[in-house]
Each structure stands twice: as structure tokens, then as C-alpha cells.
Amino acid sequence: MDRRLSIRVSVQQAVQQSQSQVQQTVQQSQVQQTVQQSQVQQTVQQSQVQQTVQQSQVQQTVQQSQVQQTVQQTVQQSQVQQTVQQTVQQSQVQQPVQQSQVQQTVQQSQVQQTVQQSQVQQTVQQSQVQQAVQQSQVQQAVQQSQVQQAVQQSQVQQAVQQSQVQQAVQQSQVQQTVQQSQVQQTVQQSQVQQTVQQSQVQQTVQQSQVQQTVQQTVQQSQVQQTVQQSQVQQTVQQSQVQQTVQQSQVQQTVQQTVQQSQVNRCNKAKQPPNLDHSAASVVYLPPQTDAGTKTRLNQLYKAISKQDNAHPEAALLVAGDFNAGKLKSV
């Protein structure tokens, strides 16, 4: 049981470690994604700021060119008006004298006006050329910004694709770790099952050994019982042999006493009156339990009462070794 618990604990720890590693890798991938997204957003914001700055600069340059054009036009118009006024004043003062001069001045002013108009046209054309150049520059800047945006978008897409590839790689690594953990779990489970089977086999072996030992002990006890029974039978047989020997000795003594009594019958002067004959019995009770002595005393009582009933006028004599047995108890 301890091995099973330790193996289960180790399996749970390995599973928890693999799960924590998977969670850490997922969190790291999420953090990397958020960082990449923030970098992409920063680059997009920077590109948008640059575009707005460039557009504001273009608008400022356009406005400055328009202001310069208006200023030049106003200056030229004021100069033309001044010259016209001067010529008009001079003509009013010197009308009769200098009409020819006025005409010359008018012609000169017209020439100057034409020259100024041509200059204004040239300036306008130059401003238009500058505007076109500026517009082309603006378009180039816009195109460059668009190219930069496309490059940035491609870089962002590459970064996103790289992040996706990294996520896929991480997911594959996570799946591999999960599969490895599952394989380890299966291996550990198989090891647990093997250990359980081994423990069961050991238990069965131990049980068989215990059964064998029990059978051996039972057989030994039976053998001991048979030996004890044989010993008891031997002791019983020895006691019976001793009893038969003692009985034979008692019979011999009884025969001797009977012979002596027969011898003594000849001398009737020594017998008491009213007694035709006498019977003597010699008794030996071996040392044994109280129940055995009681049974032997009962047997002795039966034998004496039998003789007494057969010869009521005879004298009965009982002598021997009773070994703590008392006839009074019968």
C-alpha cells in the first residue's frame, strides 16, 4: 500500500509539473503576442504621425506659396496703380504741354505693365511649377510613406506569421510534453499494476507458505497426538500389565492364604464359633487419580460383596496397600 501511495503521489506531482509548464509556456506566448501587438500598434501610430506631419508640412508649403503669390500680385498691382496715378497727375498738370510725353509715359507704363504682366505670368508659372514640384514631392513622400506602410505591414505580417509559427511550435511542444506526460503516466500505471501484481503474487506465495506451515503444524500436532496416544496406550498397557502382574501376585497370595486356611481348618479349636471357614483377600491399589481409586474401590466392594453373598457365614479378611484409598468412602 505504501508503494502504491508513493507511486500515485509521484504521478500526481509529475502531472502537476507538466500542467504548470504548459501554463507557463501558454502565458509566455500570450505575453509575447501582446508585446508584438503593442509594437505593431506603436509602429502604425508612428507611421500615422509621420503621415500627418508630412501632410501638415505640405499644406504649410502650399499656403506659403499661395501667400507669396498673393503678396507679389498685390505689390505689382499697387506699383501699377502708383505709376498710373503719377502719370495721370503729371498729365493733368502738364496736359497742354506734355501730351506727347504723357502718351510716351502711358506707352511706357503700358509697356511696363505688359512687362510686369509677363513677369507676373512668369512668377505665376514659376509658382505653378513650384507647386507642381511640391505636389510631385508630396506625392513622392506619400508614395514613400505608403511604401513604408506596406513594408511595415509586411513586417507586421511577418512578425504575426513568426508569432503564429512560434505559437504552433509551442503548441506542438506542449502537445509533446502532454503526450510524454501521458506516456509517463501510462508507464507509471503499468509499473503500479506490475507492483500490485507482484504484491498479489507475494501475498499468494505468503498465503501458500502460511497454509503449508499450518498444514505442517497440523501434521506435526497430529503426529504428536498420535505419539502421545501411542505413549498413553503404552502406559495403559504397562499399567494393565502391572495390574495383571499384581492380580497374579494377589491370586498367588490368595491361593497361599487359602491353602493356609485349609491347613488351619484342621485345627478347629483356633477358629471362632459359628464360622465354617474364612476368606482372605490381598489388595494393591496403584497410585492414581481420585476417580481411578474410586472405581477400583467400587470394583473391590463388588468383589467382597459377591463373596459375602456366596458365603454369608465365612469370615472375610481384606489386607493390602490401598495408597490413600479408603473402603469407608465406598
Task: Please check whether residue 290 is in contact with residue 324, taking contact to mean a CB–CB distance below 8 angstroms.
Answer: no
Cα separation, 181 vs 18, whole angstroms: 7
Residue 155 within a domain: no
Report the C-alpha gap between 57 and 134 in whole angstroms.
11
Tell me whether residue 266 is in a domain: yes
Q: How far apart are CA 276 and CA 268, in angstroms?
A: 9
Residue 330 exposed, middle or buried by CB count within 10 Å (0-12, 13-18, 19+): middle
Residue 269's pLDDT band (cuts 50, 70, 90): very low
pLDDT tens figures, 109-160:
788 878 878 887 888 888 788 888 888 888 888 888 788 888 888 888 888 8
Does residue 77 belong to any structural domain of this protein? no
| Whole-model pTM over 0.75 | no
Residue 316 in contact with residue 279, Cβ under 8 Å?
yes
- C-beta of residue 327 within 8 angstroms of C-beta of residue 290: no
C-alpha cell at 37: 501587438
Tell me how crowded residue 258 is: count the other CB atoms within 10 A of its CB: 15
Q: What percent of the chain has pLDDT over 90?
A: 2
Q: Which of 49-53, 54-58, 267-271 has the lowest mean pLDDT?
A: 267-271
Report the alpha-carbon distance of residue 42 to residue 47 in Å, rounded: 9
Instruction: Please give the Cα distance from 196 to 4 (Å, whole number).
Output: 8
Asked if residue 316 belongs to a domain, the reply is yes
Task: Say if 319 falls within a structural domain.
Answer: yes
Could you list the residue range(s) of the whole structural domain that residue 312 is in?
Answer: 242-329
Q: How far is CA 198 from CA 5, 21, 154, 183, 192, in A?
A: 16, 34, 64, 22, 10
Residue 97 and residue 78: Cα distance in Å, rounded? 28
Q: Please identify which residue in the block is written with the cell numbers 499450518.
A: 214
Q: How many domains does the chain have?
A: 1
What is the DSSP code (8-state) at residue 96?
A: T
Cβ pair 52, 67 in contact under 8 A? no
Q: Interior CA angle at 270 toward 267 and 273, to 5°?
A: 110
Question: How many Cα neighbours within 13 Å face the side chain of 179?
Answer: 6
For residues 274 and 314, is the Cβ–Cβ distance under 8 A?
no
* CA 210/CA 220 separation, integer angstroms: 15
**CB atoms near residue 26 (< 10 Å):** 14
Report pLDDT digits (tens) over 72-96: 888 888 787 888 778 777 766 666 5
| 288 three-class SS | coil
263 part of a folded domain: yes
**Which of 151-156's residues contact partners 24+ apart within 8 Å by CB, and which partners?**
152/43, 152/44, 152/47, 155/43, 156/40, 156/43, 156/44
Residue 209 pLDDT greater than 70, yes or no:
yes
pLDDT at residue 43 above 70?
yes
Count of Cβ atoms closer than 10 Å to residue 293 Cβ: 19
Dist. CA 281–CA 316, nearest whole Å: 8
Tell me the pLDDT of the chain averaged across its residues.
80
Which stretch of 151-160, 212-221, 246-255 has the lowest confidence by average pLDDT?
246-255
